[in-house]
Amino acid sequence: MKKIFLLTVALSVMTAQAQKKYNLLVGTYTNSCDSKGIYVFDFNPETADIKQKSSTGKLVSPSFLSVSPDKKFIYAVNEDGKKSSVSALNYSQKSGDILYVNSVDSQGADPCHIVNDDKNVLVANYSGGTISVFKKKNNGAITEAVQVIKHEGHSANAKRQESPHVHMVHFSPDKKFVLSNDLGTDRIYVYRYYPDSEKQVLEFQDTIPIKTSSGPRHLTFSPNGKQVYLLQELDGTISVFNYNDGKLKRIQETTIVQPDFKGDVSGAAIKISSDGKFLYATNRGDANTISVFEIGANGRLTHKSTVATGGKGPRDFALSPDGKFVLIAHQYTNNITVFERDATTGLLTKTGKKIEMCSPVCLVFDEVN
């Protein structure tokens, strides 16, 4: 009887796992080829096959996306120079349908990153050098910006760091702080977060100088929230910090650039596996590679492998929800390549799967409830 019971439980667990469904959301640029804006695909977690469910149509360059906590809305930046905006869209997980709600001025040219919670939408404006904060309305629409923070300064690279270039906004795991990387000033900015405030949502807390001319781009937290890993775009450095209540202490610097590499470097995306054991980072420029690092118990990184991504301009990538696959979006060769991931070693193997589509630059997985 006990064996039958255990078998029944095991089968129930397997059935539940098999029934899980996922959407893959893709943000694109619409100014270089025939893109339909934001795409929603049904993603098969066993095979990595996808099937298109919907797209938004002519929405201007929704390059980066953020799904609301209740999974009812998508918020997107519309990267269009000085005419840039931020959009709210209704989102149906089941059908994949996306319906336009409203757009407002981004209050800074070329927004390139976006996050949201129950109360607010926060946007990093690259060319404008600003962080913009928008309130949410009950219907999911966003207000005009209630707060705009403009960074000041520059750094040593005259072509890329002539002024502030805010490249990311990221909630701390406890949502007490927002961290923002500024490529133009070689700094991380830390802001205390007051979600219920009507105007002063972000309050300056600290700034952390980064290596001169490195160009901080994206960061990610370890799953336990004890480390921050920062990827620098201009020289490919990864900086590792211990993190505690808004304070960062640097403990290591390593690189995604191989010792014998000659050419342009352009660090892009950085992600960690859900078990916290492996870190991945892409390098665009002349390299077009993804690097794998093992994360030690002390949070430090050990390089394991660097492989070609199978396209040009690996702007973003995403680990599938169960960690079995890594999908890499290539802005310039208009495709997404699929790698299989070994959960034990962290290493990646080409599957040969390639999804052809116009200028994909942001990948977001969403489990369908």
Q: Would 52 be classed as within a structural domain?
A: no
Q: Reply yes or no on whether the pLDDT at 117 is more than 70.
A: yes
With a pLDDT cut of 90, the percent of the chain lying above it is: 93
pLDDT of residue 58: 84
Encoding tokens for residue 188? 């991380």
Q: Would 232 be classed as within a structural domain?
A: no
pLDDT of residue 4: 53
The vertex-243 CA angle with 238 and 247, nearest 5°, equals 110
Q: Name 337's bridge partners.
A: 328, 354
Residue labelled with tokens 């000085």: 82
Comparing CA positions, the residue from 174, 173, 153, 178 lying closest to residue 163 is 153
Measure the N-to-C terminal CA separation of the chain; round to a whole number of Å. Answer: 34
Q: Name 47's bridge partners.
A: none
With a pLDDT cut of 70, the percent of the chain lying above it is: 95
The vertex-118 CA angle with 17 and 175, nearest 5°, equals 85
pTM across the whole model: 0.94
Encoding tokens for residue 174? 């406890």
Comparing CA positions, the residue from 159, 164, 63 lying closest to residue 114 is 63
Q: Are 325 and 341 in contact (CB under 8 A)?
A: yes
Q: Would 288 be classed as within a structural domain?
A: no
Q: Would 143 be classed as within a structural domain?
A: yes
Q: Are 309 and 337 in contact (CB under 8 A)?
A: yes
Comparing CA positions, the residue from 118, 133, 17 lying closest to residue 71 is 118
Question: From edge to edge, which strands make up the β-sheet containing 227-232?
Answer: 216-221, 227-232, 237-244, 247-255
Q: Would 343 be classed as within a structural domain?
A: no
Mean pLDDT, rounded, for 363-368: 97
Domain that holds residue 124: 59-209
Predicted confidence (pLDDT) per residue in 145-180, tens digit: 999 999 999 999 999 999 999 999 999 999 999 999
Predicted confidence (pLDDT) per residue in 243-252, tens digit: 999 999 999 9
Q: Would 317 be classed as within a structural domain?
A: no
Predicted confidence (pLDDT) per residue in 310-364, tens digit: 999 999 999 999 999 999 999 999 999 999 999 999 999 999 999 999 999 999 9
The vertex-357 CA angle with 278 and 355, nearest 5°, equals 50
Q: Would 325 be classed as within a structural domain?
A: no
**Count of structural domains, the chain:** 1
Question: Which DSSP symbol is given to 261?
Answer: -
CB contact set of 286 (below 8 Å; sequence gap of 6+): 263, 264
Q: Would 299 be classed as within a structural domain?
A: no
CATH of the domain at 161: 2.130.10.10
